[in-house]
Amino acid sequence: MKNIRYLDDVSTLVLNEEKCIGCSLCTEVCPHAVFEMRQNKAHIVDFNACMECGACVSNCPTEAISVNPGVG
């Protein structure tokens, strides 16, 4: 069975890799495995799986991530 997904290309998720310090908290808190660590930086690997819950934003120590819940 196909996983339930939200609409494609509507998430407001933005990652600023320059601000990322590689703590990997976003990969731990995201319920949809949107992020992966590569070379000590977070990368968005499944953008369309983001349901804008905001957990990554709340846990990122450097405000490298932003999301605007309710827009998409």
Binding site for ligand SF4 (CB under 6 A): 13, 20-26, 29-32, 34, 42, 50-56, 59-62, 64-65, 67
- The CB-of-67 to ligand SF4 minimum distance in angstroms stands at 5
- Give me the half-sphere count of Cα atoms (radius 13 Å) on the Cβ side of residue 57: 13
Based on CB atoms, which residue is closest to ligand SF4, 5 or 31? 31
Query: Closest approach of Cβ 59 to ligand SF4, in Å?
Result: 6
Residues whose CB is less than 8 angstroms from the CB of residue 70 and which lie 6 or more positions away in sequence, other chains included: 52
Q: For 30, which DSSP code? A: -
Alpha helices in the chain (DSSP H): 25-29, 55-59
Closer by beta carbon to ligand SF4, 1 or else 39: 39
